[in-house]
A and B are shown apart, each in its own frame.
Chain A
Amino acid sequence: MDNLRLLFDAPLLPVQLLLDGVLIGAIFALAALGMALVWGVMGIINVAQGELVMLGGYAAYFLYRAGIHPLFGVPLAAALLFCLGWALYRSLIFRVVDQDLFISILATFGLSILLQQLANAFFGADVRTAESGFGTWAVRGGAITIARIKLVAFGAALLTGGVLVLFLKSSRLGQAIRATAQNARAARVMGVDTDRVYARTFAINAAICGASGALVAMTWIVHPYLGLPYTVRSFMIVIVAGLGNLQAVLASAVALGVAENFAGFIFGAEYQTAFVFTLLVVILVLRRFWLSRQRRYLA
């Protein structure tokens, strides 16, 4: 607990942790937005969400190796993952959309293992990163340092999220997606091709994950086993924020980023993953007690 005392002795340290947490929270928010979209529209909890993030990271890394600056790699990774998401829907996901939730959870769970192991087989287990070369930015004589790439990633994440919301609000496809989410049968009666809507929704989700993965590859590292923590983070964020509420998703993602940063500092970095997963269990259990107090059903 020495680190805890350090936190009070050095007043700028909490500020540093807070800032870092806020900046990484925006990246978490992206994957969570995608998960909320797929969950709300298709009724599928995509356990392979984190693997899509991981693949986006690899896309950005290989583009970087090919000489493309990672910042331009973000839209390219999103485009690649869009195609992958569409292919995944057409080959697998469409078979589980109308089935009960157990089948879709087990199927996406299998998919996550498949993608993770494929990445391990093709890309190797080495840790990789896409160097952006932006350097760090020292405030107050180096008492607080901010990696510029984190600021850029924060901005890019906000931009992507904003574009997504605008798209859902105003475009024709966005309207169809929202209609399908409200009532798939009614949407079909009104002439919406729901199968196509599902395909696009899943592809858009994959694209968002791809962008978020590219940002992850720039800010930190990618490796094949990166996925599950991102799946769990997205799930947590969506649970806390609820489906279809952008501001709440962003707020809870930032809160998670800050909490994770502080926990990583206080307990030591080796416990940070354990913290994420334990927090998930704690949040779910608390949520249940809170809901049962209100006598609401947990359907």
Chain B
Amino acid sequence: MKSVLGYVCAGALLLALPLLAPTYQTQLAFLWVMIVLALTWDLLGGQMGYNSFGNIVFFGIGMYACAVVQRDAGLGYFAGLFLGMGCGGALAVAAAAFLGAGILGLRGHYFAIATLGLGIAAGELASGWEFIGAGGGMVPPLFPGALGGRERFFYYLCFAIAAATFPVLRWLYAGRFGLALNAIRDDEDKAEAMGLRTTRYKITAWCICAFFLGLAGGAVGNLTGFIDPREVAFAGSTYGVWMVLMAILGGKGTLFGPVLGAVIFHLTKELFWTYLLGWQRVALGLLIVVIVVFFPTGILGWARVRWPERFGHRVEGA
């Protein structure tokens, strides 16, 4: 009961946040998107042990699907946006099921490299396809409401996506599904020998991940106001890298780790952007190397070793 109360209090505070800090609404909206990115990456990368460098594909698919629906369906702004996001999520799930059937049969490192190729291939294909604006990109329709209403609307939209992602993952990790994913991470052959249909679990996990990424993509496309195939939609060098970094920073394989990593990264990113003019991306690469090599368990992993009793582990004979 205590944790439910905590969640309710936190939710109320976060709902009121744009009223308390109206100048940072867009930044906060992006923070929610970051949390979704990190959480969904961790579903495969942390819980299942499948490092994916290509999750950005689903983000981009959702973004483009949403923009195309908004452009061609001839609906009002909000109807078009929500239908578009729905289509984006559905299309991303379909893509995940299709691609997953082929790629998720690959083991660990082959999967990692295949997804690395996938993300870039998607960006290159999108920038050559006339129907979605090719290299010129697309511009989603303008928000119709009053000035300032746009920021607030997107804050709540992104918050809603994040607030939907978190409990779903929490529920999944708590049950049989989470155990199956962890079994796949720990020893896939053994899990298969025990009768788990590993490929089915893996594809389901990727579909869940793709669904939320597709939703987030649709929202981000409208929030950014411009869709570039390589820099916004299939942005392997920004969102694609960030999601990996955030999940590892916070502690991969934990529920709160990616959230924590996303919050820390998003706050410090602003500092990077201000003080490291032109060198942010260098710092980003360095940060990944340093974290992976010296700090692979992440913040929560480190905290778990430091204060095991807080995490419910009993220390034997201490």
A6 within 8 A of B: no
Q: Decide: B118 and A277 in contact? CB cutoff 8 A.
A: yes
With A113-B241, A117-B285 as contacts: A281 and B105 at CB distance below 8 Å: no
B51 within 8 A of A: yes
By a CB distance below 8 angstroms, the chain A residues around B105 are 285, 288-289, 292, 298
By a CB distance below 8 angstroms, the chain B residues around A278 are 117, 121, 125
B269 within 8 A of A: no
> When chains A and B are docked, how far (Å) is the Cα of A282 from the Cα of B113?
12
Q: Decide: B292 and A114 in contact? CB cutoff 8 A.
A: no
A106 within 8 A of B: yes
Measured as residues with beta carbon below 8 angstroms from the partner, the interface class of chain B is 35 or more
Closest beta carbon of chain A to B197's beta carbon, Å: 15
**Interface-located stretch among B8-16, B202-210, B276-284:** B276-284
In this complex, which of A106, A116, A274 has the most chain B Cβ atoms within 10 angstroms of its Cβ? Answer: A106
Closest beta carbon of chain A to B46's beta carbon, Å: 10
With A106-B292, A113-B237, A277-B121 as contacts: A121 and B248 at CB distance below 8 Å: no
By a CB distance below 8 angstroms, the chain B residues around A284 are 103, 106, 110, 113-114
A235 within 8 A of B: yes
> When chains A and B are docked, how far (Å) is the Cα of A107 from the Cα of B281?
16
> When chains A and B are docked, how far (Å) is the Cα of A113 from the Cα of B241?
9
Closest beta carbon of chain A to B296's beta carbon, Å: 6
State which of B112, B127, B289, B296 has its C-beta within 8 Å of the C-beta of A114.
Answer: B289
With A121-B282, A280-B117, A285-B103 as contacts: A109 and B124 at CB distance below 8 Å: no
A110 within 8 A of B: yes
State which of B49, B106, B120, B189 has its C-beta within 8 Å of the C-beta of A277.
Answer: B120
* Beta-carbon nearest neighbor of B279 in chain A: A121
Closest beta carbon of chain A to B98's beta carbon, Å: 11
By a CB distance below 8 angstroms, the chain B residues around A159 are none
Closest beta carbon of chain B to A259's beta carbon, Å: 15
Closest beta carbon of chain B to A48's beta carbon, Å: 10
Q: What is the predominant secondary structure among interface residues of chain B facing chain A? A: helix
- When each residue 107-136 of chain B gets 1 if its CB lies under 8 Å from chain A and 0 otherwise, what string results? 111101110111011001101100000000
A167 within 8 A of B: no
Q: Decide: B288 and A273 in contact? CB cutoff 8 A.
A: no
* Beta-carbon nearest neighbor of A113 in chain B: B285
In this complex, which of A92, A95, A277 has the most chain B Cβ atoms within 10 angstroms of its Cβ? Answer: A277
* Beta-carbon nearest neighbor of A95 in chain B: B293
> When chains A and B are docked, how far (Å) is the Cα of A52 from the Cα of B40?
32
- When each residue 239-281 of chain A gets 1 if its CB lies under 8 Å from chain B and 0 otherwise, what string results? 1000000000000000000000000000010110110111011
> When chains A and B are docked, how far (Å) is the Cα of A105 from the Cα of B296?
13
> When chains A and B are docked, how far (Å) is the Cα of A103 from the Cα of B292?
6
A102 within 8 A of B: yes
Closest beta carbon of chain A to B217's beta carbon, Å: 20
- When each residue 39-76 of chain B gets 1 if its CB lies under 8 Å from chain A and 0 otherwise, what string results? 00000000001010100000000000000000000000
26 interchain pairs, CB-CB under 8 A: A45-B109, A101-B108, A110-B289, A110-B292, A113-B241, A113-B288, A114-B282, A117-B285, A121-B279, A228-B116, A232-B116, A273-B120, A276-B117, A277-B118, A277-B121, A280-B121, A281-B102, A281-B103, A281-B117, A284-B110, A285-B114, A288-B105, A288-B106, A288-B110, A289-B105, A298-B106
